[in-house]
Structure 1
Amino acid sequence: MFTTRPELQGSFGMVSSTHWLASAAGMAVLESGGNAFDAVVASGFTLQVVEPHLNGPGGDLPLIFAGPDRAPTVLCAQGPAPAGATIAHYRGLGLELIPGSGLLAAVVPGATAGWLTLLRDHGTKRLRDVLQFAIGYAADGIPLLPSMLRTIGAVAELFTTDWTTSAALYLPDGIVPQPGAWHRNPTWAATLQRLVTEAEAATPDRDGQLEHALRSWTSGFVAEAIEEFARTPWRDSSGERHAGVLTGADLASWRPTYERPATLDFGGLTVCKTGPWGQGPVLLQQLALLDGLDLRPGTAEYVHTVIEAAKLAFADREAWYGDAADVPLAELLDPAYTASRRALIGATADGELRPGSPAGREPRLPDALRGSGARPLGDATTAEPTVSRTGETRGDTCHVSAADRWGNVVAATPSGGWLQSSPVIGAVGFPLGSRLQMAWLQEGLPNSLTPGRRPRTTLSPTLALRGGEPVLGFGTPGGDQQDQWQLTFLLNHLLGGMNLQEAIDAPTFHSTHFPSSFYPRDAFPRQLVIESRFDDAVLDDLRRRGHELVVSDAWSLGRMCAVGRDPVTGRLRAAANPRAMQGYSAGR
């Protein structure tokens, strides 16, 4: 099996992330005696600086972990809708969908609070120790990625004419930076440094310092800056200017939470995901549908079967998942229900959105998805969109996984708060997120806009156990594609006999048949996006089965990161995606 790089192996520690500087920061913390929790926090704060078009301090964070004396646990740092985010308010503004950019789309920013919470509760290092890398990169500068330059170029007119605080940060001298340029964010560096300085002045106690930093974020100087900024109207993807509804009280009343994961046994592993407030269990539903079938990765029959299973699982996501409802997850994963759904997988590509009826309950889809159920707009080969006045730009996500010599494994998928999400808050150096665009402005749906409830996120890290011990932590950017690319990675590894790097490097594919989670909620019935490295015979077979193929570049889909651990020998492994030429693993 061809690979672009070796699978890393060792026994000390491993970090895999979507940017080499974040992996280096995490590994440096491991080398200084820190554990996997310390490492992912250092990597996470670094990712906010080096990939600001893919995640930011004002974004979102789900992560999942396990280790000795640590049962598999989800940390949910996905902020909820503000108290003022009511359907009546948005409808009163003449909106049918929540804008994909701007202040109306902002939830309570959760990512930074989530990283601080994880460090306080499970790390060993002090705040200064893990923030030093992000502070240094923000103050001294980082090389601009080609994707970041493209994003800045796509929104440059918006920044110049409307989002002037963003222009001040990302358009030095009023122009888009050139390839090879470096980027600095001294305001964010100063914000992080202030968190450290004030926390250390308040108490010498490590945990006390972290709690002080959390308070500074949720009810101190950061929250005050956010509340003041959110009162100002800014242009959003509706084409109009709107103020936000987020307040200091919203930030002060929320903290990240620990939850039990949703699980399913497959291929000798117990696969752990976030709950159905996010899309995580859709991976479990796909695995359940495919369990027991004769699957041979790389064949047309394999691609067809996996795609048709994805259509069924994601249709259930549309009808049943969301924080505004009591999701019948046990029924959705019930073997009898799964068998009835598996029987719907036919020999040709299905063109409908077909949610099921678990325990006899009737599914309910948003009115906007009834009838044709699709609007073929945009570019289906890209990932998470957010829309500006000047046109559609594409954001994405980050991932970092870590494993240490003590048996801890962590997988985290931060996202949101992109530089193109909303204007930069000049006082603190970052924009708010736009996760609220995933909720519907229709009453009575599992994912209806509801104050205090989380919009259904696509962020979906994965942890796998064998015999109760963690053996895999992995994830990828990609919005609705996250749990499709993770599925093919896992099937390549478990059924195809590939090591972690081989499983990542193998050509992949995904469906865009079902509605996007992002504004403007596009769908492309029967469309299958597939890398050109598949044999022509496979592509022709899929076309004969009725799939509408979009053949993408050879190395264009997915940005998987993975770490592995053998619970018997203690040996560790890691691999990272070569696509986009920035994800790397580090370890020894």
Structure 2
Amino acid sequence: MFTTRPTLQGTFGMVSSTHWLASQSAMAVLEDGGNAFDAAVAAGFVLHVVEPHLNGPAGEVPIILAPAGTSEPRVLCGQGPAPAGATIAHYEGELGLELVPGTGPLAAAVPGAFDAWMLLLRDHGTKTLAEVLRYAIGYAEDGHPPVERFGETVETVRELFETEWISSAEVYLPGGRPPAPGTLFRNPALAATWRRLLKEAAGEGGREAEIDRARAVWREGFIAEALVRQSERPTMDTSGTRHTGTLTRADLARFSASYEAPATYDWNGWTLCKAGGWSQGPVLLQQLALLPDELPAYGSTEYVHLLVEGCKLAMADREAWYGDASEVPLTELLSPEYNAERRASIGAKASYELRPGTPGGRTPRISRHARDVATGAQAFDPMGVNAGAGEPTVSHYGATRGDTCHLDVVDRWGNMIAATPSGGWLQSNPVVPELGFPLGTRLQMTWLEPGLPGSLTPGRRPRTTLTPSLALRDGVPVLAFGTPGGDQQDQWQLNFFLAVALREPVRGGYDLQGAVDAPNWHTDHVPSSFYPRGMLPGHVTVESRIGADVIEGLRGRGHQVTAAHPWSEGRLCAVARDPATGVLSAAANPRGMQGYAVGR
């Protein structure tokens, strides 16, 4: 079978990420004797440098890891909560806002990514902080050739940078122009930040003590001071007004990344592991739970219709039940009885309704705004063009904008990790002049309406779209995967996973590249997680190469179908390990022409 690239196979180590420099940096760490967790940290910091329009140190990262020999993967949560001063009373009552802005310091949660990477390195890595940071420092100091989307993103916010966010213009408009492919782009302020961090963290006590000192510098030292100063600067945001943020030194000092058990679902000998109901992760589990025992032929009209309609139901439940502000009834949402009832509501025609369920007899709670956009009372803005920022990656017409990152690593010992770093985009907030990177905007995913699972609540995590995956086969970790893509992440991952699970093994292992390359789709049927929170009821975007018969078949079933660019849907990365043979595999997304897998 033809694939855009081979499924890589070997026994030493495999890396897949959304940028080739991150992948190769991770591989260099493996070659230097590091393990998968050392490699992932190095890649994560390189992604901050080479994809600053997609993630940054003050963003967030959920991680799923499976140390060698374990049958119980863990989630490492690098999603920071809302600051203590981020209350509905302040945003709605005092400032008169109806939605959390899509940019600016009011949308900034407590940064979570840095501490999560540090905790991973301290607890599961073997390398020193300097050994993993040297790749990111090198690219920031000496330069890297920027990908096209980097400069294109800067161009979309050029006027804002030149008139309002001057500190961003100083970094991202060198010589008055956006970074151009074929040149070298440098961020000396970021390199200086990491060099100062290493200097202040140095001392006695060994590797772990040094990492903990680095965490303290971030929380309470010069980095914390600079982040708070930036939050206190009046900043133009998507509301059209300059606002100051709510982040304080106390918010930064009290945050720590944390470990927790994953949400899981067993399906046909597989166990899928995801982050819990504070994330989008259980949507993938619900989509699997909604599948019937017998599936239509893979890729057929009936197959895509079934998956799209199941996705609508799972995503409606996400709106009604997921969040960190209240208990998420995952046991009921994943139960056979609940999903049999939900499955029965899938008909031969496309649904145009937002239909959350009633797990355990509970009454669903949907925001007023979501109800309004579901009935067409407000305009739909799929790409956040009013915002100038955001993670939504593919519009209903197939154009790309914004996004996030992903990386997977497996090593010769069997350690495996999937991570989806995002937030802190260059287009989210002004660059902190002293640091070389901006604050994030993840609070835009919260609602300014009390009593909802996703209501803005001090000390609670916003319900993120970031959702890495790790799968076990007969209780053994065998597959790590994920994708950028905002609300589309678990839609694309479902199609990828089923392509892996339903097809016969190829060349002695799962055909990862074939599953990555398989034609994909997404629906904008549910409210977007990003400002201005729009939706398109009944709409589906498919890659045109899915076939004219499938496209017309879906239209015949009532779907509003857009046939987009043939290679527009999905940004998947994946690594795998066969526990019987020790053979490692990897694949990466050809779409966008920058994701890459490496290994041997």
TM-score class, shorter: over 0.9
**SS at the partner of 1:52?**
coil
Preserved CA contact (<8 Å) 1:101 1:386: no
Which residue is 1:190 aligned to? Answer: 192
Preserved CA contact (<8 Å) 2:380 2:535: no
Which residue is 1:4 aligned to? Answer: 4
Deviations along 1:101-158, one digit per CA (max 9) or x if unpaired, are 0110000111111111100010000001100000000001111111111110000000
Which residue is 1:80 aligned to? Answer: 81
From 518, 525, 530, the equivalent of 1:506 is: 518
The question of 1:458 aligning with 2:465 is answered: yes
Deviations along 1:280-307, one digit per CA (max 9) or x if unpaired, are 0000000010141323221111110000
The question of 1:401 aligning with 2:408 is answered: yes
Matches within 5 A, 1:416-495: 416-495=423-502
Q: CA deviation at 1:496?
A: 3.0
Which residue is 1:577 aligned to? Answer: 589
From 101, 105, 108, the equivalent of 1:106 is: 108
Separation in 2 of the partners of 1:199 and 1:179? 35
- Specify the code of the residue in structure 2 equivalent to 1:412: A
From 380, 400, 418, the equivalent of 1:411 is: 418
Change (3 A) 1:124 1:372: closer
Which residue is 1:207 aligned to? Answer: 208
Separation in 2 of the partners of 1:515 and 1:374? 11
Separation in 2 of the partners of 1:389 and 1:43? 24
Deviations along 1:521-572, one digit per CA (max 9) or x if unpaired, are 0100000010010111111111010000111101111110000001111110
Q: CA deviation at 1:501?
A: 0.2
Which residue is 2:239 aligned to? Answer: 238
**SS at the partner of 1:317?**
helix
Preserved CA contact (<8 Å) 2:69 2:414: no
- Specify the code of the residue in structure 2 equivalent to 1:519: Y
The question of 1:567 aligning with 2:579 is answered: yes
Q: CA deviation at 1:389?
A: 9.7
From 119, 122, 129, the equivalent of 1:120 is: 122
From 166, 179, 182, the equivalent of 1:180 is: 182
**SS at the partner of 1:142?**
coil
Preserved CA contact (<8 Å) 1:296 1:495: no
From 123, 142, 150, the equivalent of 2:152 is: 150
**SS at the partner of 1:441?**
coil
Preserved CA contact (<8 Å) 1:60 1:415: yes
Which residue is 1:53 aligned to? Answer: 53
Separation in 2 of the partners of 1:377 and 1:283? 28
Which residue is 2:219 aligned to? Answer: 218
Change (3 A) 1:370 1:58: same
Separation in 1 of the partners of 2:316 and 2:338? 14
- Specify the code of the residue in structure 2 equivalent to 1:423: P
**SS at the partner of 1:504?**
helix
Separation in 2 of the partners of 1:61 and 1:385? 25
Separation in 1 of the partners of 2:365 and 2:327? 13
Q: CA deviation at 1:2?
A: 2.4
- Specify the code of the residue in structure 2 equivalent to 1:404: D
Separation in 2 of the partners of 1:336 and 1:283? 18
Separation in 2 of the partners of 1:173 and 1:557? 35
Preserved CA contact (<8 Å) 1:385 1:395: no
Over aligned residue pairs, what C-alpha RMSD do you find? 1.6
- Specify the code of the residue in structure 2 equivalent to 1:550: T
Deviations along 1:158-201, one digit per CA (max 9) or x if unpaired, are 0000000000000112233444332110000011111112222x
Preserved CA contact (<8 Å) 1:78 1:454: yes
Task: Return 5+ residue gaps in structure 1 as ranges.
Answer: none
Preserved CA contact (<8 Å) 1:413 1:459: yes
Q: CA deviation at 1:372?
A: 5.2
From 531, 534, 543, the equivalent of 2:555 is: 543
Separation in 2 of the partners of 1:15 and 1:175? 34
- Specify the code of the residue in structure 2 equivalent to 1:583: G
Which residue is 2:543 aligned to? Answer: 531
Separation in 1 of the partners of 2:223 and 2:380? 36
Change (3 A) 1:19 1:113: same
Preserved CA contact (<8 Å) 1:22 1:43: yes
Q: CA deviation at 1:385?
A: 7.6
Q: CA deviation at 1:407?
A: 1.1
For normalisation by structure 1, the TM-score amounts to: 0.97
The question of 1:357 aligning with 2:358 is answered: yes
Separation in 2 of the partners of 1:147 and 1:104? 26
Q: In terms of mean alpha carbon deviation, does 282-291 or 452-461 score higher?
A: 282-291
Q: In terms of mean alpha carbon deviation, does 366-375 or 562-571 score higher?
A: 366-375
Preserved CA contact (<8 Å) 2:310 2:343: yes
For normalisation by structure 2, the TM-score amounts to: 0.95
The question of 1:65 aligning with 2:72 is answered: no
Q: CA deviation at 1:227?
A: 1.0
The question of 1:312 aligning with 2:313 is answered: yes
Change (3 A) 1:175 1:378: farther
Q: Percent identity?
A: 60
Preserved CA contact (<8 Å) 1:374 1:522: no
Separation in 2 of the partners of 1:379 and 1:358? 31
Separation in 1 of the partners of 2:475 and 2:195? 40
Preserved CA contact (<8 Å) 1:530 1:551: yes
Preserved CA contact (<8 Å) 1:400 1:412: yes
Q: How many pairs are equivalent? A: 584
